[in-house]
């Protein structure tokens, strides 16, 4: 099939390359010329495992192109809308300006019978509005939310755990669903369930999925607060809860909480939309989920202060991690960086290191000191804070070797990912979050 992908960020660039890899003829369109230049040369403009290879293969096959000219979308059978929907400045609601601009720019190139498939995360009701705006062109709007995780984006796009397609009622909707089945044929062959819904349900699935995931993380972090008060261990609690298959262990990772370009802003936008609909109370708990999550950052900072006996000013603190999670260079709403910035605000001499996100972190927070190398960050540290669970820190950091580098053997494990006994055995004062 011929496809266009409008918006080539984390979502669109991966989607375009993945669609080309399964045999479609794809053009990616973005207004950011630098991003397009990188993609054209086969370089992902952000850190995403396996994406460079997929881009190179797609470009070499001739089935994948990138451009900043919207006219290139003309002639595609399916146009995927994959632009960002950030948080609106000064509000909790989603900022739909990029969606609106992309739709306006695309409309002149839509032909009767084309499909416009929305993938961006939008407040429920947005799709109905877009459907109305494109209806004079004779194109049909469907909603096809994306559930990819950064760091696993290629895998999640090529072998998704489900495909959700919201379609309009009637014959148009049936034809659209059939066409999308063809588009995703490879994923369906490997067993991905294909769920056809109305437009509003498809929009809701995405918001609800992220709300659920955020709630799960905040639930275990709320338990960490209680565990800490009574001297229990939240990681053992999570293991025990996780054996109940109705609960499951995944996404019960406690620590400094969630961040990134999706969960925080999506739960806020979801709650804001519910309020507009007069049903804010139904998701009032999301405010609590957000508050629990933000409290974790306070708690991590306080733990470092306590570990240094309240004397933070002038001490050297090594912050291991800047990205909001491993296998990513994304620092949007990163709890890791926030902890670093706040410690620096308290007068600590903070040195941040991260295997992928340093360039982004430097650009956003030039006031912090950075070390390209983990050991350089550890050297002379009075305290170490692990805030992004890269293997480099979680698996490959030896307590004795690290101990030889630091000034004082104090470690705060903001991701509860280290084995406390091996660190204590090497004479470290180990502090987990909600762990004995």
Residues assigned a catalytic role: 262
Helices 126-134 + 97-106 axis angle, to 10: 20
Helix (H, G, I), strand (E, B) or coil at 196: strand
Q: Of 264, 267, 165, nearest to 208 (Cα)?
A: 267
Helix (H, G, I), strand (E, B) or coil at 409: coil
Alpha helix positions (H), 322-409:
335-345, 358-364, 374-378, 391-394, 399-405
Q: How far is the CB of 161 from ligand UDX (least distance, A)?
A: 9
Q: How far is the CB of 335 from ligand UDX (least distance, A)?
A: 7
Closest CB to ligand UDX among residues 262, 406: 262
Q: How far is CA 161 from CA 144, 183, 194, 328, 380, in A?
A: 14, 16, 9, 21, 46
Residue pair 94/122 in contact (Cβ under 8 Å)? The answer is: yes
Closest CB to ligand UDX among residues 79, 325: 325
Beta bridge partner(s), residue 351: 318, 369
Q: Which residues contact 182 (CB under 8 A, 6 or more apart)?
A: 1
Q: How far is the CB of 301 from ligand UDX (least distance, A)?
A: 17
Q: How far is the CB of 277 from ligand UDX (least distance, A)?
A: 22
Q: How far is the CB of 336 from ligand UDX (least distance, A)?
A: 9
Query: Residue 212, Cβ neighbours under 10 Å: how many?
Result: 12
Rg (alpha carbons) of the chain, rounded to whole number: 23
What's the 3-state SS for 61-111? HCCEEEECCHHHHCCCCEEEECCCCCECCCCCCECCHHHHHHHHHHHHHCC
Alpha carbon 296 to its chain's center: 18
Closest CB to ligand UDX among residues 59, 224: 224
Closest CB to ligand UDX among residues 312, 323: 323
Four-CA torsion 329, 333, 336, 342, nearest 10 degrees: 140
Q: How far is the CB of 422 from ligand UDX (least distance, A)?
A: 22
The side-by-side arrangement of strands in the sheet containing 115-118 is 64-67, 25-29, 2-6, 78-81, 115-118, 140-143, 163-166, 194-197
Closest CB to ligand UDX among residues 27, 82: 82
Closest CB to ligand UDX among residues 16, 252: 252
Catalog residues that contact ligand UDX under the rule CB under 6 A.
Answer: 146-150, 210, 213, 217, 251-253, 255, 257-260, 262-263, 324-325
Closest CB to ligand UDX among residues 80, 147: 147
Residue with the two structure tokens 């804010």: 280
Closest CB to ligand UDX among residues 204, 217: 217
Q: How far is the CB of 37 from ligand UDX (least distance, A)?
A: 25
Q: How far is the CB of 350 from ligand UDX (least distance, A)?
A: 20
Output the residue with the shortest Cβ distance to ligand UDX: 253
* Segment holding 433, helix H or strand E: none
């Amino acid at each position: 099939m011929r496809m266009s992908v409008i918006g080539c960020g984390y979502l669109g660039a991966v989607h375009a390359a993945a669609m080309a890899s399964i045999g479609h003829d794809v053009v990616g369109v973005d207004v950011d010329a630098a991003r397009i230049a990188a993609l054209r040369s086969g370089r992902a403009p952000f850190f995403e495992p396996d994406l460079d290879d997929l881009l190179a293969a797609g470009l070499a096959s001739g089935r994948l192109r990138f451009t900043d000219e919207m006219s290139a979308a003309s002639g595609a059978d399916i146009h995927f809308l994959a632009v960002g929907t950030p948080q609106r400045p000064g509000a909790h609601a989603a900022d739909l300006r990029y969606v609106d601009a992309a739709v306006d720019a695309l409309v002149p190139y839509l032909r009767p019978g084309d499909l416009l498939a929305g993938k961006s995360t939008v407040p429920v009701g947005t799709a109905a509005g877009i459907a109305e705006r494109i209806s004079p062109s004779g194109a049909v709007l469907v909603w096809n939310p994306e559930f990819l995780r950064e760091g696993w984006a290629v895998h999640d796009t090529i072998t998704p755990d489900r495909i959700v397609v919201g379609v309009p009622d009637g014959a148009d909707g049936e034809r659209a669903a059939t066409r999308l089945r063809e588009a995703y044929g490879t994923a369906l062959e490997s067993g991905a369930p294909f769920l056809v819904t109305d437009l509003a349900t498809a929009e809701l699935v995405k918001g609800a999925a992220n709300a659920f995931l955020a709630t799960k993380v905040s639930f275990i972090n709320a338990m960490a607060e209680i565990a800490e008060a009574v001297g229990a261990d939240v990681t053992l609690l999570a293991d025990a809860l996780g054996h109940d298959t109705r609960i499951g262990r995944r996404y019960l990772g406690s620590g400094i909480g969630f961040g990134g370009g999706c969960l925080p802003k999506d739960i806020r936008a979801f709650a804001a939309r519910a309020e507009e609909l007069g049903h804010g109370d139904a998701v009032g708990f999301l405010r609590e989920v957000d508050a629990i999550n933000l409290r974790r950052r306070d708690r991590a900072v306080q733990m470092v202060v306590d570990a240094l006996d309240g004397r933070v000013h002038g001490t050297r603190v090594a912050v291991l991690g800047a990205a909001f999670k491993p296998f990513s260079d994304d620092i949007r709403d990163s709890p890791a960086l926030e902890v670093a910035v706040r410690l620096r605000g308290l007068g600590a001499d903070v040195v941040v290191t991260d295997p992928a996100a340093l360039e982004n972190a430097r650009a956003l927070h030039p006031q912090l000191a950075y070390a390209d190398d983990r050991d350089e960050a550890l050297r002379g540290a009075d305290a170490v804070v692990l805030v992004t669970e890269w293997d480099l820190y979680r698996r490959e950091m030896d307590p004795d070797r690290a101990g030889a580098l630091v000034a004082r053997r104090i470690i705060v494990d903001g991701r509860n990912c280290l084995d406390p006994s091996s660190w204590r055995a090497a004479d470290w004062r180990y502090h987990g979050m909600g762990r004995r």
